[in-house]
A and B are shown apart, each in its own frame.
Chain A
Amino acid sequence: MKVVRVLVLVVGFCCAAVPLAWMALSSIKDRADTIHAHPKVLPVPGTPAGDDSIAFAPTLSSWAELAEVHAGAQASFWSHLGNSVIIGILSTLCSVALGTACAYGFSRFRVPGASDWLFFVLSTRFMPPLAVVVPVLLMYRELDLQGTHLGLVLLYTVFNLSLSVWLMKGFLDEIPRAFEEAALVDGYTRMQAFVRVVLPEARTGMAVTAVFCLISAWNEYGFAMTLNSSDAVTVPAYFAGLAGNIEGMPWPQVAAGALVFVAPIVVFTVLVRRHLLRGMTFGTIKQ
């Protein structure tokens, strides 16, 4: 039994880790080495080009070339990463702010039809983006929001509301009402009690919610690609655009870029690992 268990874990671990390790290796290769018939595993400085061994000469040229504009794209990787950062952070801030307020309302007040509203909010999570993208596109054309950062910020904010409302509702429900009651007795207004007593208590919850909103906006592809062709293209849409590259895929740059793109997500995953279950299930399952 133990042998089976260890075997299962080793295989699983390799499946998860090897593609990412390979990504790191590919990013320090020459393009010829990434498409070599033999696997190039070992970075050995000074390996001659075209060598058939498993060694390859490491190079940082792909990292330098991230600043270049490739065929099939309009700007460099860094500029698209900038778009991802701006859109991700702004939409996350908006989602968490709105979601926290909304969750607080549902958590502490008797809102008529609260349960129905909450499930309405959850159901928007299941909406296929492609079922609303055309009207959104037409709407954005009218409002001149097509291809703008603001357009995507708005869309991702709304897209993540179901997540932030449900997660924050769970976190806020766990904060004892006695805290606010004491504050109200002390003469705070409701709003003051919320801002000075509840919010500090909900810090962890808000941070966790923010991480999940950020990741979801960071990774989104469907809207990013259909609503944008120029100014606000995020990294997933940029990479997808490279796929039709007639010069052949610039694999080392793709690997380097993908590595830069996924590294913060890996860090965040480690940071919120205790809350992953909650975050991934919109708080419908708690640990």
Chain B
Amino acid sequence: MRKQGGGLAWALVGPTLLLLVAFNVFPLLWNVLLSFTNAELVGEGARSVGGANYARIFDDPLFAAALRRTALFVFVAVALELVIGFVLALALKRDFKGKPVVLTTLLVPMMLSPAVMGLYWSLILNGNYGLLNQVLGALGFGQPQWLTDRDLKFWSILLIDVWTWTPFMMLIALAGLASIPQSLYEAAAIDRASTWTTFRRITLPMCAPLLGLAVLFRATDALKQFDLVMAITGPNDGGTQTLSALLYQVVFRDGKVGLGSAYAILVLVVVMALATVFTRYVERMRGAEASA
């Protein structure tokens, strides 16, 4: 009973699509226009400057540094989240008493506001009175300045991100593990496959498609890392400035809207490239599901 659309169908989907165009597509196009001007946050009279903003960015050491830092962040954070999440999922595979409580507790961090938790983490990570250093001290380890040490603060932010998003990977890994038919393991047991072989030949490849989806999901998010950087160091810190933080600094602190818009467009191109890979991936997975 899939009816030809007509008026009712458009009346149902129309408002949503219109709003998305008004608040996403339209501002985006506007942003492209702004990126070719010298517009400022305050004051009128923006002039066209052609491609000067883009030319400037490619010579800008700050942009290059932020780009490298963001890439490192995405790569390391997502990899850690994937590995730890997968290990946790493996540990949770079998049933045990109290599993629902443990599982739900493990999932909570990803639901909490990074901005609020970031601020709160700066209490735990404080070098002088933070809980982490007190525990480390009691165990006889060194007590680094997590938040102020030039080389460390980037990694502290990354660890908070790992704390927040590992549950997400764990959740998806659990779904992947649950989808593996028990019969495969039984067959492996008959063949006397070692634990390692079973893991490498059955568990890992069967989970891979879902984990791939999770990695893409996380990567596009991590690429936009902003909240934690703001909470821990602010946007203008030479050790932690990610692309989003740089963009914020340029637009809202320096007031250079034109230049900031050019940054935004470049960031967007990268994000959208990843997002396209993601949607293709979803389409392919759905196609495989439908034909299976």
Contacts and interface: CB of A to CB of B under 8 A. Distances in A.
Interface of A: 1, 4-5, 8-9, 12-13, 15-20, 22-23, 26, 34-39, 98-99, 101-102, 104-106, 108-112, 117, 119-124, 126-136, 138-139, 154-155, 157-159, 161-162, 165, 177, 180-181, 190-191, 215, 218-219, 221-222, 225-226, 235-237, 239-240, 242-243, 249, 251, 254-255, 258, 261-262, 265-266, 268-270, 273, 276-277, 280-281, 284-285, 287
Contact of B2 (A18, A109, A269): A109
Given A117-B17, A134-B260, A190-B8, A38 B123 contact: no
A20 B124 CA distance: 11
Contact of B129 (A35, A122, A134, A154): A35
B121 A19 contact: yes
B278 A126 contact: yes
Given A124-B24, A266-B111, A269-B104, A254 B119 contact: yes
Contacts of A136: 23, 27
B210 A109 contact: no
Contacts of A104: 12
B20 interface: yes
Given A158-B23, A161-B19, A269-B108, A108 B2 contact: yes
25 contacts: A9-B88, A16-B163, A16-B167, A19-B117, A38-B134, A102-B17, A105-B5, A105-B11, A108-B3, A111-B5, A111-B9, A121-B20, A124-B20, A128-B271, A130-B224, A132-B31, A135-B28, A135-B34, A191-B8, A226-B248, A235-B113, A254-B119, A277-B172, A277-B175, A281-B172
Contacts of B224: 128-130
B279 A134 contact: no
Query: Chain A interface mostly helix, strand, loop or mixed?
Result: helix
Given A109-B5, A110-B3, A110-B4, A119 B283 contact: yes
Interface in B92-114: 92, 94, 100, 102-114
Nearest to A84: B113
Nearest to B282: A284
A109 B4 contact: yes
Nearest to B94: A5
B74 interface: no
B interface, size bucket? 35 or more
Given A35-B126, A105-B13, A276-B171, 13 more contacts: A9-B88, A16-B106, A23-B120, A110-B4, A130-B267, A132-B27, A134-B34, A134-B264, A135-B30, A180-B1, A222-B226, A235-B116, A240-B231
Output the residue of A112, A139, A269 with the most chain B CB within 10 A.
A269
A8 B87 contact: yes
B16 A161 contact: yes
B220 interface: yes
B188 interface: no
A109 B116 CA distance: 42
A237 B31 CA distance: 24
Nearest to A128: B224
B271 A240 contact: no
B60 to A, nearest CB: 17
B217 interface: yes
Contacts of A38: 134
Contacts of B124: 19, 22
B226 A239 contact: no
B241 interface: no
B13 A102 contact: yes
A154 B271 CA distance: 24
B264 A130 contact: yes
B140 interface: no
Contacts of B115: 219, 221, 236-237, 239-240
A127 B268 contact: yes
A13 B34 contact: no
